[in-house]
């Protein structure tokens, strides 16, 4: 279990480790079963979701960076107006273009990232649900043998 790289190996190793602790504490079998089930679920979620937080962070930060660029573009546009002292559209266009480009860039990163995050999070939940049966079988076998 400890040398494998898959999710089941990770879950089984976590169950074995927690089982050893619970056995030393001389817990009741029913209590051990409940604790080991929680351990299995948390281990599976941890293993499968280890990269999801990166996607969530990118999906959150990208529109904020776009907004920051929007603000910078608007500052440039108003600075151009202040320097020239007129409302010449040519002077304002560069800053507004910068603002719109950075907003579009931020959204073009955020939208697919959030879609990927939701897809992978849902897939992980489905995998966890399917792995649950193996976790319970392993726990029951382990508790019968101890």
SS (HEC) of 38-107: HHHHHHHHHHHCCCHHHHHHHHHHHHHHHHHHHHHHHHHHHHHHHHHCCCCHHHHHHHHHHHHHHHHHHH
Tell me the per-residue pLDDT of 76-116, one tens digit each, with 9 for 90 and over: 888 888 888 776 788 788 888 888 999 999 999 999 999 99
Q: What is residue 120's predicted lDDT score, i.e. its pLDDT?
A: 95
Mean pLDDT of the chain: 90
Rounded average pLDDT over 1-22: 87
Cα(63)–Cα(109) distance, integer angstroms: 8
Residue 2 clears pLDDT 70, i.e. is over it: no
Cα distances (Å, whole numbers) of residue 35 to 17, 66, 89, 143: 12, 45, 68, 12
Between 15 and 4, the more confident residue is 15
pLDDT at 67: 94
Query: Per this entry, what is the length of the chain?
Result: 146
Q: What is the pLDDT of residue 89?
A: 81
φ, ψ at 51 (rounded to 5°): -105, -10
**Is residue 22 pLDDT above 70, yes or no?**
yes
């Amino acid at each position: 279990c400890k040398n494998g790289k898959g999710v089941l190996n990770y879950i089984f190793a976590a169950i074995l480790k927690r089982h050893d602790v619970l056995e030393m504490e001389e817990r009741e079998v029913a209590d051990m079963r409940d604790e080991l089930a929680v351990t299995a679920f948390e281990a599976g979620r941890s293993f499968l979701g280890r990269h999801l937080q990166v996607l969530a962070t990118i999906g959150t930060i990208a529109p904020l960076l776009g907004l920051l660029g929007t603000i910078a573009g608007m500052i440039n546009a108003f600075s151009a107006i202040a320097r020239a002292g007129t409302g010449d559209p040519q002077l304002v266009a560069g800053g507004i273009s910068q603002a719109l480009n950075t907003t579009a860039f931020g959204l073009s990163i955020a939208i697919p990232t959030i879609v990927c995050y939701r897809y992978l999070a849902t897939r992980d939940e489905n995998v966890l649900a399917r792995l649950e049966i193996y976790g319970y079988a392993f726990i029951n076998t382990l508790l019968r043998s101890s």
